[in-house]
A and B are shown apart, each in its own frame.
Chain A
Amino acid sequence: MVTPNTELAYNTKIEGDIVVTRADAVINWLRSNSVWPMPMGLACCAIELMAGASSRFDIARFGSEVFRFSPRQADCMIVAGTVTYKMAPHLRRIYDQMAEPKWVIAMGACASSGGMYRSYATLQGVDKIVPVDVYISGCPPRPEALLDALIKLQEKMTRTGGTTKRLLTA
């Protein structure tokens, strides 16, 4: 006698430990939960960045505790502070040395727009020289704002389409 299968859901006892999903979703999920930041600490925002990495705020909760001081090992440059014109080319070169895929967070008013430094010496926003994914307001922003930006960046990463295609054609 044939008994009809009444199981509607996935049953690991029958089908084994298999989860079906899309490669894009998995890769984006992996990437977004292990963002290794490149701390580009240039001014007081870097202090809040460090506070974000310490125990009270604990950026490790979002998988980003591995701050890498080598651009070769980092995914996300966090520009924390005032970018002077003298520093700008160095910042761009460090960004160029980061491996793809890579992201940039402009942390605080100075990195986003030059902030209060409307002067001959200050780059009026780091987006003039590198593509920025998330801007954080504040002077300086609190660590929670940085964590919020990181979560927004993770959301952006998981929304990204064509990840697998890009990997295969690269």
Chain B
Amino acid sequence: MSASAPAAAASETDLLALLQGAFPAAATRPTGDHPAFKLPVADVPAALKLLRDQQGFDFLTDVTAVDWDVEASPRFSVVWHLHSTTHHGYVRIVADCLSDTEPSAPSVVGLWAGANWHERETFDLMGIRFTDHPDLRRILMWDGYPFHPLRKDFPLAGIETPLPDVEVSEITGATVKPAPMMGGPFVASTGEMNLTEAEPRAKDESWNERSEKPAAL
């Protein structure tokens, strides 16, 4: 970050003017909280560098991605969240991936070393390939896991695959099996004063192991 970082967060209009000066395709994006901008994916590293060095956004809060829908095109968007430790402003940059089947985005590990694990997680769960990443391996699921679990076409219960260790799979006969989903996802109730009622449970008790899930659901 440079010494010329502003003392206060720039307004959305000023940021847009700055970005459009360097990247004419930059546009604002509907947002519920902080300024958000849409950029062509190839311009993102340069834009993030501009925001970091000229606008004091020196902290990369998060790198993540959105899978809009299996049928949607563009299907995947990558999202970068920046924060400023000097003026405490936030900004969000979003870029659509060019390919719907082999989505990729440029890595920003060169700008923030901390992007490394964020990008590995985004690759692991969403299947976004970050070009020029120094070590793009899975970080949560094991090496060799064939799916990207947070994609829309992946069921929450999972898909049957072998265990990570073939030998243990042979000894135990265990595999990665779809989790039982009777009664729907197993979730806690928030804002419940009675802790017994707040315990995680299936929300729809009309179907379970014995009675089939209604086709309408």
Spell out A's residues near B (CB within 8 Å).
Answer: 85-86, 88-89, 92-93, 114-124, 128-130, 139
Which 10 A-B pairs have CB atoms at the shortest separation, nearest pair first?
A120-B158, A89-B165, A116-B200, A89-B168, A118-B179, A128-B174, A129-B172, A92-B168, A118-B186, A86-B142
- Distance, CA A88 to CA B165, complexed state (A): 9
Q: Are B157 and A119 in contact (CB under 8 A)?
A: yes
List, in ascending order, chain B residues with CB within 8 A of A92's CB.
165, 168, 171-172
- Distance, CA A129 to CA B172, complexed state (A): 5
Say if the beta carbon of B176 comes within 8 Å of chain A: yes
Say if the beta carbon of B110 comes within 8 Å of chain A: no
Extra inter-chain contacts (5) besides given A89-B165, A92-B165, A120-B159, CB under 8 Å: A86-B140, A89-B164, A89-B168, A92-B172, A122-B179
Interface of A is mostly: loop
Say if the beta carbon of B181 comes within 8 Å of chain A: yes
Q: Are A118 and B157 in contact (CB under 8 A)?
A: yes
Q: Are A118 and B141 in contact (CB under 8 A)?
A: no
Spell out B's residues near A (CB within 8 Å).
Answer: 140-142, 149, 154-159, 163-165, 167-169, 171-172, 174, 176-181, 185-188, 199-200
Chain A residue, CB-CB nearest to B154: A120
List, in ascending order, chain A residues with CB within 8 A of B174's CB.
88, 123, 128-129
List, in ascending order, chain A residues with CB within 8 A of B149's CB.
120-121
List, in ascending order, chain B residues with CB within 8 A of A120's CB.
149, 154-159, 176, 178-179
Shortest B95–chain A CB gap in Å is: 28
A129-B179 contact given A116-B200, A119-B156, CB 8 Å threshold: no
A86-B186 contact given A92-B172, A129-B174, A139-B199, CB 8 Å threshold: no
List, in ascending order, chain A residues with CB within 8 A of B172's CB.
92, 128-130
List, in ascending order, chain A residues with CB within 8 A of B179's CB.
114, 117-120, 122, 124
List, in ascending order, chain A residues with CB within 8 A of B165's CB.
89, 92-93
Q: Are B157 and A85 in contact (CB under 8 A)?
A: no
Q: Could you say which of B164, B176, B180, B188 contacts A118, with CB atoms under 8 Å apart?
A: B180
Shortest B126–chain A CB gap in Å is: 14
List, in ascending order, chain B residues with CB within 8 A of A119's CB.
156-158, 179
Q: Are B163 and A85 in contact (CB under 8 A)?
A: yes
List, in ascending order, chain B residues with CB within 8 A of A115's CB.
200
- Distance, CA A88 to CA B180, complexed state (A): 18
Q: Could you say which of A86, A93, A124 contacts B141, with CB atoms under 8 Å apart?
A: A86
Q: Are A85 and B181 in contact (CB under 8 A)?
A: no
Shortest A132–chain B CB gap in Å is: 13
12 pairs of residues in contact across A and B, judged by CB atoms under 8 Å: A86-B141, A89-B164, A89-B169, A93-B165, A116-B200, A117-B179, A119-B156, A120-B159, A121-B141, A128-B172, A128-B174, A139-B199
Q: Are B186 and A116 in contact (CB under 8 A)?
A: yes
List, in ascending order, chain B residues with CB within 8 A of A139's CB.
199
Q: Are B163 and A124 in contact (CB under 8 A)?
A: no
